[in-house]
Amino acid sequence: MPVKTAIVGVGQTDYRFKRTDVTIQELAVEASLKALEHAGMTMEDIDAFVIGIAPDALLGINAVDRWIGEALGVTPRPLLRVNTGGTTGAAAAQAGYAHVASGMARRVLVVAADKVSESPDAQWVLNTAMDPIYERSVALNAINMCSFQAVRQMDHYKVTERQLASVAVRSRKHAQLNPHAHLRAPISLDDVLSSRYVCWPLKLLDCCPRSSGACAVIMAAEPVVRANHSRAAWIRGMGATSNTIYMGDKMGPGRDVDHADWDELAMAAARAYQQAGITDPIRQIDVAEIYAPFTCTEIAAVEALGFAKKGTGGLMSEQGMFDMNGALPVNPSGGVLSANPISATALARVAEAALQVMGDAGARQVPGAHQAVATGIGGTLQFHTCMVLASDT
Amino acid sequence: MGQDERLDAPLIHSGEWKIHYDYAVGETATRFFLHLRDEGKIAGKKCPSCKAVLVPPRAYCERCFVKTEEWVDVGPEGTIEAFTIVYEPFDGLPPPPYVVAYVTLDGATTAMANFVTGLDLSVPEVAARELAVGKRVEAVFSDEREGMITDFHYRLK
């Protein structure tokens, strides 16, 4: 049996376009110290460290874990660096959870940091993450790979650009409640619909910003939690799936899943829900923090998580189901559309979900939130994670 | 040290990565690219187990974990599965506007990405209607081929 594990501390820097006052290591330390303070611990209490850093070329520092690790004072404790692209932060949380649940560590610090604005264009870097033989030279990047999803949603399910825009408007409305969010100015449907096309059908305001910032969480084993912590976010379920880098395999006549959908996330969620005893997600989940860097990706995710039937996620968004006062609030933090420090983004979903069930989410708190779900995605929409957190075991 | 106004604008040190690589594409992709370059044809590899014709070809079927042996010519016509029209300039990527589409070439089980040329992209909504999912295209081959994926592109039928 795995050791029951909970998040007992969360630390986030503000997410901003630039942080010229600190280096990447100082940024990671800033979030880590905040998490330790929230948990009432010091660095000496930590048994093991997990660092989540997405592709090094985003920062332009190769093997940056070598620099960050020592800044945290890891010596002589174990350090693990995790990279699964956009999923990195969630995969780091998954690795931290494995440390504690396996009994190998009692207290683990998981930290992720990024300064995406230090290179002028992340999309070129993300293009180099594509298959170099067959696909890199046809200009694939992270935006157009999601545009392919949106095009198929519009074709298969008649998703409209207005439905996509409703996701952006709500995210920005929620971001006004979150002091950490990078983009907080309110936007209207017309603002989104009249913003310029970046990669058709995605417009500028369908897309996330490039952000700098760091996020840290501290996980602890049940005996530690029981002895020291009055509030905790218990990890009740964790699922993850991977699939091919080739998006075209999810489009042709032989496809087993469709690039329009996230059946892979549904599989990860099924595993996490089964562990958590969730059979009726809409009733049993109080709030969701979804990794959705583009409006279309949130629509795929709410369907995969069982919040809406396949093909209806856009309509449910437009009708307000995922608003703060809706049936199932999604991304009270403002989500990825309001801040995307790539390495830290998926960990921020876990952190925000934890804050919700700990009752520490401030102005963005969903009243009485008991159970929350956090997701991550990365690669060519190929890596998916789903974590269920709750206020009790 | 006390208040120092100079810290309002911290120093920036610039750097650049310029690293050369020579990617060996392997025997499978070599045959694919030589067939493309010398014969002007696109071929996939067929999985002996699930019978999928994998395009672009792979040495192993990723579903069945068996070696693929049989080569099958596909196309040159095919069907659009997904597309995007890029209007934003990105560092290191082609100047916009341009179209990238995934197309299932006739006889293939999977779709392959490439540029679509020959369209007026000045009005996004109009261009997007031309490019709908399900529209037929054909692979058009360059006269001067180098054994690269960009030796061909798609054009609407």
State the ipTM, two decimals. 0.95
Residue A99 falls inside a structural domain: yes
Model confidence at A279, pLDDT cuts 50, 70, 90, reads very high
Mean pLDDT of A28-44: 97
Mean pLDDT of A235-253: 95
What pLDDT sits at residue A122?
83
Residue A44 falls inside a structural domain: yes
Chosen for mutation from B58, B88, B150 (greatest number of chain A CBs closer than 10 Å) is: B88
Mean pLDDT of A278-289: 98
If DSSP codes are grouped into helix, strand and coil, which group holds residue B14?
Answer: coil
- Using CA coordinates, name the residue in chain A closest to B88: A198
Cβ of B110 and A139 within 8 Å? no
Q: Domain limits of chain B?
A: 24-156
- Judge if the upstream peptide bond of residue B97 is cis by omega within 30 degrees of 0: yes
- Judge if the upstream peptide bond of residue A253 is cis by omega within 30 degrees of 0: no
If DSSP codes are grouped into helix, strand and coil, which group holds residue A160?
Answer: coil
Residue A103 falls inside a structural domain: yes
E strands, chain A, in order: 5-12, 48-52, 79-82, 107-115, 197-200, 202-203, 212-221, 233-242, 287-289, 371-378, 383-390
Q: Is A294 exposed, middle or buried (CB count within 10 Å of its CB: 0-12, 13-18, 19+)?
A: buried
Contacts of A253 in chain B (CB under 8 A): 104, 109
If DSSP codes are grouped into helix, strand and coil, which group holds residue A146?
Answer: helix
d(CA A296, CA A381): 12
Residue with tokens 């960009």: B150
DSSP assignment of A221-279 equals EHHHHHHH-S--EEEEEEEEEE--S-GGGGTSTT-SS-TTS-HHHHHHHHHHHHHHT-S
Residue A104 falls inside a structural domain: yes
**pLDDT tens sequence across A174-187:** 999 999 999 999 99
Q: Is B15 on the interface with A (CB under 8 A)?
A: yes
**pLDDT tens sequence across A11-23:** 999 999 999 999 9
Which CATH number characterizes residue A216's domain? 3.40.47.10
If DSSP codes are grouped into helix, strand and coil, which group holds residue A110?
Answer: strand
Question: What's the gap in Å between the CA of A71 and the closest CA on chain B?
Answer: 20
Residue A127 falls inside a structural domain: no
Nearest to B84 among A21, A200, A255 (CB): A200
d(CA A381, CA B40): 32
Residue A55 falls inside a structural domain: yes
- Sites in chain B below the pLDDT cut of 50: none
What pLDDT sits at residue A188?
98
Chosen for mutation from B54, B110, B114, B137 (greatest number of chain A CBs closer than 10 Å) is: B110
Chosen for mutation from A197, A212, A242 (greatest number of chain B CBs closer than 10 Å) is: A197
Nearest-Å Rg of the Cα atoms of chain A is 19
Cβ of A248 and B85 within 8 Å? no
What pLDDT sits at residue B1?
59
Q: How many domains does chain A have?
A: 1
What pLDDT sits at residue A30?
97
Helix (H) or strand (E) holding B112: strand B112-117
d(CA A164, CA A189): 10
Residue A284 vs residues A331, A369, A385: alpha-carbon distances, Å: 17, 10, 19
Express as a percent the part of chain A with pLDDT over 90.
91
CATH, range B24-156: 2.40.50.840
**pLDDT tens sequence across A362-393:** 999 999 999 999 999 999 999 999 999 999 98
Residue A305, pLDDT above cutoff 70: yes
Q: Give the residue numbers spanning the domain of A28.
A: 5-119+211-221
d(CA A273, CA A289): 15
What is the token pair recorded at B124? Answer: 């996004």
Residue A215 falls inside a structural domain: yes
Residue A367 vs residues A113, A118, A325, A337: alpha-carbon distances, Å: 30, 38, 10, 23
What pLDDT sits at residue A200?
97
Cβ of A21 and B7 within 8 Å? yes
What is the token pair recorded at A121? Answer: 């264009």
Cβ of B149 and A138 within 8 Å? yes
What pLDDT sits at residue A75?
87
Q: Taking phi first (over 0 means left), then psi (-120 to 50 degrees means alpha), and beta for anything else, what does residue A145 get? A: alpha
Contacts of B101 (CB under 8 A, 6+ apart): B80, B81, B82, B83, B84, B113, B114, B115, B116, B131, B137, B154
Edge-first strand order for the sheet with A287-289 is A79-82, A48-52, A107-115, A212-221, A5-12, A233-242, A383-390, A371-378, A287-289
Mean pLDDT of A263-282: 98
What pLDDT sits at residue A120?
76
Question: What's the gap in Å between the CA of A138 and the closest CA on chain B?
Answer: 6
Residue A343, pLDDT above cutoff 90: yes
Q: Is the Cβ–Cβ distance between A192 and A169 less than 8 Å? A: yes
What is the token pair recorded at A161? Answer: 């650009």
Cβ of A251 and B111 within 8 Å? yes
Please state, rounded to an integer, the average pLDDT across all residues of chain A.
Answer: 96
Residue A308 falls inside a structural domain: no
Q: Is the Cβ–Cβ distance between A15 and A213 less than 8 Å? A: yes
- Using CA coordinates, name the residue in chain B closest to A130: B113
- Using CA coordinates, name the residue in chain B closest to A197: B87
Nearest to A246 among B83, B110, B149 (CB): B110
If DSSP codes are grouped into helix, strand and coil, which group holds residue A163?
Answer: helix
Question: What's the gap in Å between the CA of A261 and the closest CA on chain B?
Answer: 13
Contacts of B22 in chain A (CB under 8 A): none
Pairing of strands A48-52, A107-115: parallel
Helix (H) or strand (E) holding B101: strand B98-105
Contacts of A296 in chain B (CB under 8 A): none
Chosen for mutation from B36, B54, B102 (greatest number of chain A CBs closer than 10 Å) is: B102
- Kindly report each contact of residues A68-72 with a partner whose C-beta sits within 8 Å and lies 24 or more positions away, as own/partner: A68/A24, A68/A25, A68/A28, A68/A111, A68/A113, A70/A25, A71/A25, A71/A26, A71/A28, A71/A29, A72/A28, A72/A29, A72/A32, A72/A43, A72/A109, A72/A111
Helix (H) or strand (E) holding B128: helix B124-130
Whose CA is closest to A217, among A46, A21, A392, A44?
Answer: A46
Burial string for B49-86 (b: 16+ CB within 10 Å, else e) reads eeebbbbbbbeebeeeeeebeeeeebbbebbbbbbbbb
Contacts of B100 in chain A (CB under 8 A): 138-140, 144
Contacts of A150 (CB under 8 A, 6+ apart): A159, A164, A201, A202, A206, A294, A295, A296
